[in-house]
Amino acid sequence: MGVTLVFGAAGQLGQCLQQLGRERQLTNLIFLPRTQANILDEAALQSVFTQYRPTYLINCAAYTAVDKAEEEADTARRVNRDGVENLARLCGEFGTTLLHVSTDFVFAGTGNQPLIETDEAAPISVYGRTKLEGEQVIPAHTGQYFILRTSWLYSRYAGNFVKTMLRLGQERSEVRVIWDQLGTPTYALDLADCLLHIIDSGSTAYGLYHYSNEGVASWYDLAVAVFELSGLPTRVVPIRTAEYPTSATRPTFSVLDKTNVKAALGLAIPHWRESLKACLRQLA
């Protein structure tokens, strides 16, 4: 099996891939240091591709500061669109299969039915728009790609909602959490496992897929579950989105339908509560 390069190795998904790489002793997974892994530096990328001639490339690199992106649209676009195009172009040149991670934020989230891959993408934030532009530039350069849209990522690594709730639960007797946004929390270790499964299986079912854990939750439901499963007595007060204004508008309903990814890859996807338990065990 050839080499798999991972870009964005320092983020939470990248760190989950590193964890699985260590556990499974995967010597062909190459996690590039930041000096080599700047997806905006075309000369450096050319040199990396020439050196490693990768069979697969997993792109976890992204501008993900959703609210900050409203003020830094150019920076977000450079990373989420231009950087992705640089990678896709080289993947096309070198015959490398690209595994790229996208987001539920490409949807407006105004409906009430689980979203399928062919539903209209109509992002309502700079982050969502730039991530959609990143998806759209890939097919012009290569046909060998898997784009996985995911939602509400958390893990033991980096900053995320679950870790924030655990910290607030130690500091406060009560937290106020939004109940009128619905989606699915996704354990980044499960997504990392899915990415490695694509490589291990040698699948050529290229295309766009949705991947999140099973089930549906609000942020309120997730917070309640975090405190319940970790034995913290913190009270969760449900609030509306309007009571917690943010720079970027978020989708109200972004539950992803996983029918296609399960069929194409033969996956069994855990329910979000089961995966949350697994993450909390690691954090403990």
- Active-site positions read 127
| Spatial separation of the C-alpha atoms in residues 5 and 49, rounded to whole Å | 9
In DSSP terms, 182 is beta-bridged to 218, 253
| Segment (H or E) for 18 | helix 12-24
Region at 120 (left for phi over 0; alpha for psi -120 to 50; beta for the rest): beta
Largest CA-CA distance found in the chain, in angstroms, rounded:
56
Which single residue is written with the structure tokens 């619905």? Answer: 182
| Spatial separation of the C-alpha atoms in residues 133 and 81, rounded to whole Å | 6
Q: Are 130 and 83 in contact (CB under 8 A)?
A: no
DSSP-derived letter for residue 69 is: G
Strand 97-103 with 153-154, pairing: unpaired
3-state helix, strand, coil in the chain (%, to 5): 45, 20, 40
Residue 153 has, within 13 A of its CA and on its CB side, a CA count of: 25
